[in-house]
Amino acid sequence: MSRFSMLGWPVFRQTKSKDKYGRGPSVESPKYENMRPRTEDADDVVQSVCPYCAVGCGQRIYVKDNEVIHIEGDPDSPISRGRLCPKGAASEQLVNTPSRQKTVLYRAPRATDWEEIELEKAMDMIADRFLEARENHWEDYDEEGTPVNRTMGIASLGGATIDNEENYLIKKLFSAAGAVQIENQARI
Amino acid sequence: MANADLILIQGSNMAECHPVGFQWVTEAKQRGAKVIHVDPRFTRTSAVADKHITIRAGSDIVLLGALINHMIENDLWFKDYVTHYTNAAHIISEGFAGPEDLDGLFSGYDDELQGYNNETWQYEEDPDAADGIAKDMTLQHPRSVFQILRRHYSRYTPEAVEDMAGISQKDFKYLADAFAENSTRDRTTCIAYALGWTQHSMGAQFIRTSAVLQLLMGNMGRPGGGIMALRGHATIQGSTDIPTLFNLLPGYLPFPVAGKHDTLQDYFDESFPQDQKGFWHNGDAYMISLLKAWFGDAATAENDYAYHYLPRLTGAHGTYQTLMRMFDKGVDGYFVLGQNPAVGSANGRMQRMGMANLKWMVVRDFQQIETATWWRDGPEIQSGELKTEEIDTEVFFMPAANHTEKAGTFTQTQRLVQWRHQAVTPPGDARSELEFFHDLGKRLRERLQDSTDPRDRPLLDMTWDYPVDEHGEPDAEAVMKEINGFYTTGPDAGKPLDNFNQMKTDGSTAGGCWIYAGVYAGGVNRAALRVPGDKQDEMAQKWAWAWPANRRILYNRASADLDGKPWSERKKLVWWDEDATKWVGHDTPDFPIDRAPNAKSEKGVFGPDALSGDDPFIMQTDGKGWLFAPMGMKDGPLPTHYEPAESPVSNTMYPQQESPSRLLITAEGNQLAPASGNPGSEVYPHVFTTYRLTEHHTAGGMSRFLPYLSELQPEMFCEVSEELAEEYGLESYGWATIISPRGAIEARVLVTQRMKPVRAGGKTIHQIGLPYHWGVGKEALITGDGANDLLGMTLDPNVFIQSAKAVACAIQPGRRPRGEALVEFVNEYRERAGITEMTGQSRLTYERDPETMEIAEPPTLSEPEHHEGDKLV
Ligand code: SF4
């Protein structure tokens, strides 16, 4: 620890450097001089939107080497004017938190744990099951004999962070497959 | 909102749940606006409001109805606006009777329908009128909407508010005065609500009541006025516009129903009657454009644009009905996409038990949420109700890409469609929904390519040819272009549409969602427009794109008077420019641009052309704002107070306790507590209301796995008043167990003056606050019991949403039992209350004469507590 000196006192430094509000030279230090914002190294800054609530705050995503290094509020947004709440401010962790599950997992009937399987294999298994379920519960007519051309064997429940374009494809695909039980958080 | 003079926030804790949006409330306050918060709890919103009024959860219609009554009786309503812009002058058919005449029911109640036949709610015809509707512009006709409204709300008095809502007459007067003073030519009031209104079995009617009030006071379509629906999450608005909801097609077109919409012509006749006004008249062009977008060349005039390719509905197929099918082994596979029903849906135990009946499920998420791990870590494994080794369900966990790893649009709460650019590519096996479903679709089509079965034609014929990048990610902009719409033939083939008026009925246009037409006008992605807010005016029309037609305030023709002049200089928005003979202003006019304010509709003309100059509500079949809804509402044309299911308070407004048309799910595991006046109701004497916190996100999938947010709000808690704590010996930071007929959960106790008991129905009612973000599992950083395990499934008949804001419960100090003992504990309470599957399941409170629907033995209304002796159905 350095020796105590009156000269180090903030009030003294402030008065001496005529730094009335304490935002100028009196608060500067070599450490501060050498500090660099995380955002400075970014290769790219991308405009985005917070994925949490329906206010739709603007975000700026700072990217380096295909990794998100920082997320902050977008001052250009007329909705949020640069602000983010704790959720929006924590969204960098949504991307980078170590517990994020990045591989496909499969739990077989009656199994007590997951096993990892290949993405390709999983997609094929899902496609096969989709068609089988569709067949198992297919209905040509309702009780009155009116055509319904549908399957009740497949259902879906979506969350509130699915893009419009994604919801559009989901609705189109399920409807074309005859599946009607498609729902969303919007109803919950 | 920043332009409002009074902001009434009711059914929403906006400062907590829409924190950054709340800056506009603060802004309005700084400009001199008053903010009143009506809520069962004193919250972060109340803390910065000018006044907080404690209301008993579920009694909102009594309060709003009393405001309506107050405005009418004291002559404070906006006469020019109401007479000309609403259906106040319209005369209702002779057969109509209201709940004041029929012991709490409207005319047309049919037990077999489990609801209403709305024949008697229709307008009386007048063959001489241009629009065929009988009217009395003096509003004096006893069957005019205005007089019906006056009669209907006459019993909604300040005394009723005090008795049913627990609000003092003094507080009521404060609210009524503020509302009246700030609803004039010169001043406007905005009402903001959120899930505190929607999550009720009467939710849609709560919102209707506020609409009636806002119309009556002339606050709709005007700057600083209106009703602000605070949608909960990122793109809840988008997911109803482009719905993943069973009963809708994109753009609020109804999904075809068997028996009603068998042919395309049936669909048009029923959905878009051609003898009415407004833009729904062109629904046929929107629908044909949708079919062209989906089925391309396979949709032709000869085959009715492949309308038969669409499956048909036969009743409700919502998420709770689907759950009941799971128990019957009627559903094999379940896709859960960025959602956590094991925690987030009502009746968590049944949700998890339902999933144990599936053959397979696909969970797409960022983390191993409770919906992905219930078969190993769920509460039913702990209680022994399920055994991992016996669960047959296959579970696929498919990692998802997050908002930085894909491009696309969210639609926020004010209908603003905002584009997100892709920042990085997703890690590992993570994929976007777009890629996952595009790929799945391709695999299905490959497997079926040689099929000759007609049922496979829709899958094989649908347009699915989206360009993909080197990682297999489809181009979201190409999908947006399809949603926007484009010309299919002629010199402009392939060119994007500029607006929905260009959509045709001859198949020459395609478009996936008519209300989004224009988002890609001129081939420009308008959702990606990013002119900084400080470089444009307050409407900020160059930041992203709002549907429809980049309009920021809907029905804004109503911001001008009958002559097309602004009601006042201060509240100027759009107006008629005499010289240019068109509507102009700060916002895109929401009206046919050259329709003069004095234009009269002619007989025999329909659709948008039939709109008179004084028909601002251009989507309504009569161009007017509806004080009275002749159709569209399943549970009555006028909002009426009924008690929530299992309420500890008797309805003193009518001898009908609950809404007779609420949607009931009768099942083991979904039992209801006895309502007030029935034996056993004292076993669950309190009411809890669920809510969320700034630091968490719905069922926690995107927050309980993140260190920062978990640290900020680490533990499940319950908010209780000092009085309740005293009564049960609950201590702050100690534990309490909360019990409903569906389950029991434990939570840390937070004793606070922010919760106050209310006096209602002659009783003291304690309300308990429960955040619903926690769930039981092993993967999240923080876990805890889920509040939604306590909820039953009683649904709104209009939108099928569950009731979560006023639910009966019991409370006791200490932690809940573990293992099998927990099941016994819940059963013991149920037995004590004498609950069976049929408890609370009768639609009609009292036996009625099947002919007249009158109550056979009328109860004594003045003594609500004495219902025990009355005969219950
Ligand atoms: S930053 Fe907060 S207020 Fe803004 S959109 Fe995200 S969650 Fe909502």
- State which of A72, A80, A85, A161 you would mutate to test the pocket of ligand 1, scoring each by most atoms of that ligand within 8 A of its C-beta: A85
- Exposed, middle or buried by CB within 10 Å (0-12, 13-18, 19+), for B644? buried
Instruction: Verify whether ligand 1 is closer than 6 Å to residue B19 (CB atom).
Output: yes
Residue B227 confidence (pLDDT) above 90 = no
For an interface test with B, the pick among A167, A175, A182 (most B C-beta atoms closer than 10 Å) comes out as: A167
3-state DSSP of B225-255: CCEEECCCECCHHHHHHCCCCCCEEHHHEEC
Q: Give pLDDT tens digits for B593-611.
A: 999 999 988 888 888 888 8
Residue B197 lies in a domain: yes
CA-based end-to-end distance of chain A: 59
Residue A68 CA to chain centroid, in angstroms? 11
Optimal mutation site among B195, B230, B244, B388, interface A, most CBs of chain A within 10 A: B244
How does residue B348 score in pLDDT terms, banded at 50, 70 and 90?
very high
In a domain, B730, yes or no: yes
Residue A135 in contact with partner chain B when CB distance is under 8 A: no
Among A74, A77, A79, A80, name the best residue to mutate to test ligand 1's pocket (greatest count of ligand atoms within 8 A of Cβ).
A80
Ligand 1: centre distance to CA A96 (Å): 19
Count of beta carbons in the 10 Å neighbourhood of residue B871: 11
Which pLDDT value is given to residue B858?
64
**Residue B179's domain is classified under what CATH number?**
3.40.228.10
Q: Dihedrals φ, ψ of B57, to 5°?
A: -55, 130
3-state secondary structure B555-618: CHHHHECCCCCECCCCCCCEEEECCCCEEEECCCCCCCCCCCCCCCCCCCCCEHHHCCCCCCCC
Nearest to B357 by CA among B373, B340, B338, B333: B333
C-alpha span between B795 and B661 (Å, rounded): 10
pLDDT band at B805 (very low <50, low <70, confident <90, very high): low
Using an 8 Å CB-CB cutoff, list chain B residues near A116: none
Q: Are B232 and B199 in contact (CB under 8 A)?
A: no
Q: Which domain holds residue B49?
A: 6-229
Q: How far is the CA of B13 from the centre of ligand 1 (A)?
A: 14
Choose from B287, B328, B329, B424 for mutation: most chain A CBs within 10 A. B424
End-to-end CA distance of chain B: 48
- Within a domain: B68: yes
Q: Is B251 inside any structural domain?
A: no
Tell me the per-residue pLDDT of B522-542, one tens digit each, with 9 for 90 and over. Answer: 999 999 999 998 898 877 889
Report ipTM for this prediction. Answer: 0.90
Residue that terminates a domain, selected from B229, B258, B273:
B229
Percent of chain B with pLDDT over 70: 96
Count of domains in chain B? 2
Spatial separation of the C-alpha atoms in residues A179 and B458, rounded to whole Å:
12
In this prediction, residue B863 carries a pLDDT of 41
Residue B828's contacts (CB-CB under 8 Å, 6 or more residues apart) are: none
In a domain, B781, yes or no: yes
Q: Tens digits of per-residue pLDDT, A121-147?
A: 999 999 999 999 999 999 999 999 999
Instruction: Please give the DSSP secondary-structure letter assigned to residue B389.
Output: G
* Distance (Å) from CA B35 to ligand 1 centroid: 22
Q: In the structure encoding, which two tokens stand for residue B617, read together?
A: 């509500």
Interface of A with B in 2-41 (CB under 8 A): none
Question: B54: helix, coil or strand?
Answer: strand
Mapping DSSP to helix (H, G, I), strand (E, B) and coil, where does residue A155 land? strand
Alpha carbons B870 and B873: distance in angstroms, whole number: 10
Q: Measured between beta carbons, which residues in chain A are less than 8 angstroms from residue B696?
A: 87
SS3 (DSSP) at B641: coil
pLDDT at A83: 95
Residue B704 lies in a domain: yes
- From chain B residues 188-217, the ones with a CB under 8 A of any chain A CB are none
Nearest to B239 among A48, A172, A186 (CB): A186
Task: For residue B258, give how far its alpha carbon lies from the nearest alpha carbon of chain A (Å).
Answer: 6
Which ligand 1 atom lies nearest to the CA of residue B234?
5
User: Confidence band (pLDDT; 50, 70, 90) for B862?
Assistant: very low
The answer for A 51-80 residues in CB contact with B (under 8 A) is 51-58, 61, 63, 66-68, 71, 75-80
The Cα B718–Cα B786 span in angstroms is 11
Residue of B nearest to A134 (CA): B332
Q: Does A128 touch chain B (CB under 8 A)?
A: yes
Q: How far is CA B46 from CA B50, B51, B53, in A?
A: 8, 7, 9
Strand-pairing partners, residue B354, are: none
| For the CA of B20, the nearest atom of ligand 1 | 3
Enumerate the residues of chain B whose CB falls inside 8 A of the CB of residue A101: 365-368, 397, 399
- Taking the Cβ of residue B149 and every Cβ of chain A, the question of whether any pair is shorter than 8 Å is answered with no
| Structural domains of chain A, ranges and CATH numbers in brackets | 44-96 (3.30.200.210), 105-187 (no CATH)
Check residues B274 and B64 and name the one with the higher pLDDT. Answer: B64
* pLDDT value for B318: 86
Residue nearest to ligand 1 atom 8, measured at CA: A53
Contact list, A138 vs chain B (CB under 8 Å): 455
Angstrom distance (rounded) from CA B477 to CA A56: 20
Range scoring the smallest mean pLDDT among B10-19, B234-243, B293-302, B506-515: B234-243
C-alpha atoms less than 13 angstroms from C-alpha of B70 in its C-beta half-sphere: 24
What is the CATH classification number for the domain harbouring B717? 2.40.40.20
Q: Is residue B641 part of a domain?
A: no
**Looking at chain B from residue 337 to 356, which residues have their Cβ under 8 Å from any Cβ of chain A?**
337-341, 344-346
> What per-residue confidence (pLDDT) applies to B864?
40
* Ligand 1 neighbour A94 (Cβ under 6 A): no
- Return the pLDDT at B826: 96
User: Among candidates B103, B63, B335, which has minimal Cα distance to B213?
Assistant: B63
Distance (Å) from the C-alpha of residue B847 to the closest C-alpha of chain A?
32
Interface A–B counts its CB contacts (< 8 A) at: 470
Surface-to-core class of residue B865, CB atoms within 10 Å of its CB (0-12 exposed, 13-18 middle, 19+ buried): exposed
The pLDDT of B476-486, averaged and rounded, is: 97
Q: Is A49 in the pocket of ligand 1 (CB under 6 A)?
A: no
Give the model's confidence band at B494: pLDDT under 50 very low, under 70 low, under 90 confident, else very high.
very high
Choose which residue among A48, A52, A61, A71 to substitute to test ligand 1 binding: the one with the highest number of ligand atoms within 8 A of its C-beta. A52
Place of tokens 């988002």: B519
The pLDDT assigned to A1 comes to 46
Q: Could you report the per-residue pLDDT of B242-255, keeping only the tens digit for each?
A: 888 899 999 999 99
Tell me which residue of B230, B228, B224 sits closest to B183, measured CA to CA.
B224
CA–CA separation, B136 vs B152, rounded Å? 19
Nearest CA owner, ligand 1 atom 2 = A85
Which residue does chain A place closest to B463, by CA atoms? A172
